[in-house]
Amino acid sequence: MIKIKKQQGAVLFFVLITLPMLVVLGLMLVENSSVDLKMVDARVVRNDSNIRLTSAASALLTSIKTPSLFANAENGEGISEPVPLDVSNVVTVKSEVNCMRRKDANGDDFQCRYLEVKFTHQFGREKKDSSRWGSNSMAIGVEQPHIAH
Ordered per-residue pLDDT tens for the chain, 149 residues: 565 565 667 778 888 889 989 998 888 887 777 777 777 778 888 888 888 888 888 888 887 777 777 777 778 777 777 677 678 888 888 776 666 665 555 556 667 778 888 888 888 777 778 777 788 889 888 877 766 66
What is the reported pLDDT for 72?
77
Q: What is the Cα–Cα distance from 80 to 129, expressed in whole angstroms?
A: 24
Torsions phi, psi for 70 (to 5 deg): -70, -40
Whole-number Å distance between alpha carbons of 127 and 123: 11
φ and ψ of 76, to 5 deg: 90, -5
